[in-house]
């Protein structure tokens, strides 16, 4: 059950993008589990991938192909991560790329492969290859929702967002899909994200936007503190819109497009948290008054990933001592605890390093009973501030992961 997340609607097609999805029978239960995204020839593509050193075979191949050619296709399978599979995993990934290239009439390294699912299992190559003719035959501009559903693993709901903006006299469309629910922690998360726009923009600027957007979105979420072997985020510009070519940082058009894309990235990343495994709470953690960005994020993630804090949120228990302890363990050696303030929504629970004089357990409990909560920590030692999003840790999370392979 997700927290405040609805089935996506009004998803915009992107000129230059076609998608399809079908069932390759990778799962025991019959469901869509393979997706194909076709990109027009002049598309610009930027990507970022997991920093987990045990990265999956498709990550290795996708990074290599992206450095060699402009991609024409993204091929995604759910149900099998093809990670921890050694040289055979690389051979299997390359074989699916080769098969698709032969069917689609493109080069093998114009295909970016992606996988998500169980680690350590051999990729069902034959099942995926057998599904390729159907995927090619079903390609359509209107299949964003179907694609979002087919890349899901433990997700309970597909995640897709669209946005329209004006750049000069042109209307620009942005649409993105993402999967992710558990094993969520930068860099980046157990997630696959595909965001596309028809904006006409230089590739180097697209890459700059991607790095900035990921840092403010997918690198600001955590469910359980585990970084995936497979995560990837792709930003695609088909350049099919009629806007004036964006080739400089110093333009209003660049700033508007960048900020609009960041908004989409943030909504998608928050959708992952809202659909976090077993989540009953959507929690925003804001840390202000830091000397630098990293100490703000360190404090925020220390709180967000504390099992004691997370279970207190599950129980709607305003056990503020757990929050105080997490702040003190965040690695700021010269932290003056007497300057710290902590708020649950608008309720001050800690001031001068101790329980606030006006705080009552009833006030704290009333906030903790909410589905959506903001926890604010003011370090009062600088001008920096950062924000991350997380979940609680419920019995259902344990159940989902205990039964994941059964």
Class for the domain spanning 282-402 = alpha beta
pLDDT digits (tens, 9 = 90+) for 28-84: 899 999 999 999 999 999 999 988 888 899 999 999 999 999 999 999 999 999 999
190 is catalytic: yes
Mean pLDDT on 85-96: 98
Residue 368 pLDDT > 60, yes or no?
yes
- What rounded mean pLDDT belongs to the chain? 93
- For residue 246, give the DSSP letter: B
Residue 225 pLDDT > 80, yes or no?
no
CATH architecture entry for 17-274: 4-Layer Sandwich (3.60)
182 token code pair: 């558990």
pLDDT at residue number 269: 94
Mean pLDDT on 320-337: 93
Residue 188 pLDDT > 60, yes or no?
no
pLDDT tier, 245 (very low <50, low <70, confident <90, very high otherwise)? very high
pLDDT at residue number 226: 59
Among the options 50, 99, 116, 190, which is catalytic?
190
331 token code pair: 């690695």
Mean pLDDT on 334-344: 95
pLDDT at residue number 229: 77
Residue 330 pLDDT > 80, yes or no?
yes
pLDDT tier, 396 (very low <50, low <70, confident <90, very high otherwise)? confident
Domain boundaries defined on the chain: 17-274, 282-402
Q: Print the SS3 string covering the chain.
A: CCCCCCCCCCCCCCCCEEEEEECCCCCCCCCCCEEEEEECCCCEEEEEECCCCCCCHHHHHHHHHHHHCCCCEEEEEEEECCCCCHHHHHHHHHHHHHHHHHHHCCCHHHEEEEEEEECCCCCCHHHHHHHHHHHHHCCECCCHHHHHHHCCCCCCCCEEEEEEEEECCEEEEEEEEEECCCCCCCCCCCCEEEEEECCCECHHHHHHHHHHHHHCCHHHEECCCCCCCCCEEEEEECCCCCCCCECCCCCHHHHHHHHHHHHHHHHHHHHHHHCCCCCCCEEEEEEEEECCHHHHHHHHHHHHCCHHHHHHHHCCCCCHHHHHHHHHCCCCCCCCHHHCEEEECCEEEEECCEECCCCCHHHHHHHHCCCEEEEEEECCCCCEEEEEEEECCCHHHHHHHHCCCC
pLDDT digits (tens, 9 = 90+) for 276-305: 888 899 999 999 999 999 999 999 999 999
Mean pLDDT on 192-202: 97
pLDDT digits (tens, 9 = 90+) for 128-173: 999 999 999 999 999 999 999 999 988 999 999 999 999 999 999 9
Residue 218 pLDDT > 60, yes or no?
yes
pLDDT tier, 395 (very low <50, low <70, confident <90, very high otherwise)? confident
pLDDT at residue number 224: 66
Q: How far apart are alpha carbons 201 and 48 in whole angstroms?
A: 18
Mean pLDDT on 188-212: 91
Q: How far apart are alpha carbons 107 and 142 in whole angstroms?
A: 26
């Amino acid at each position: 059950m997700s927290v405040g997340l609805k089935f996506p609607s009004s998803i915009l097609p992107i000129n230059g993008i076609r998608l399809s999805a079908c069932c390759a029978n990778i799962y025991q239960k019959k469901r869509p589990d393979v997706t194909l995204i076709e990109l027009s020839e002049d598309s610009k593509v930027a990507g970022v991938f997991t920093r987990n050193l045990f990265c999956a075979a498709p990550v290795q191949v996708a990074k290599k192909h992206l450095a060699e050619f402009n991609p024409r296709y993204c091929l995604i399978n759910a149900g099998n991560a093809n990670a921890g599979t050694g040289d055979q995993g690389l051979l299997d990934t390359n074989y699916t790329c080769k098969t698709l290239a032969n069917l689609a009439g493109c080069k093998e390294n114009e295909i970016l492969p992606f996988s998500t699912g169980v680690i350590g299992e051999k990729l069902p190559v034959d099942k995926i290859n057998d599904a390729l003719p159907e995927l090619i035959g079903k390609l359509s501009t209107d299949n964003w929702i179907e694609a979002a559903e087919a890349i899901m693993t433990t997700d309970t709901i597909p995640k897709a967002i669209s946005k329209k903006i004006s750049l000069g006299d042109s209307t620009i469309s942005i649409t993105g899909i993402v999967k992710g629910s558990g094993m969520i922690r930068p860099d980046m998360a157990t997630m696959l994200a595909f965001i596309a726009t028809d904006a006409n923009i230089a590739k180097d600027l697209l890459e700059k936007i991607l790095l900035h957007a990921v840092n403010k979105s997918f690198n600001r979420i955590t469910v359980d503190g585990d970084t995936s072997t497979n995560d990837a985020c792709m930003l695609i510009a088909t350049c099919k819109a009629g806007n004036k070519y964006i080739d400089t940082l110093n333009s209003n058009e660049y700033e508007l497009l960048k900020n609009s894309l960041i908004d989409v990235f943030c909504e998608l990343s928050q959708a992952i948290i809202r659909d976090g495994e077993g989540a009953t709470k959507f929690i925003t953690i804001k840390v202000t008054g830091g000397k630098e960005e990293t100490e703000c994020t360190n404090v925020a993630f220390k709180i967000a990933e504390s099992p004691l804090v997370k279970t207190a949120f599950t129980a709607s228990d305003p056990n503020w001592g757990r929050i105080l302890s997490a702040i003190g363990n965040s690695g700021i050696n010269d932290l003056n605890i007497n300057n710290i303030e902590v708020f649950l929504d608008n309720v001050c629970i800690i001031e001068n390093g101790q329980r606030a004089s006006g705080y009552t357990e009833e006030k704290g409990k009333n906030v903790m009973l909410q589905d959506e909560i903001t926890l604010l920590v003011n370090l009062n030692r600088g001008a920096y501030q950062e924000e991350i999003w997380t979940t609680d840790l419920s019995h259902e999370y344990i159940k989902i992961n205990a039964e994941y392979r059964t």
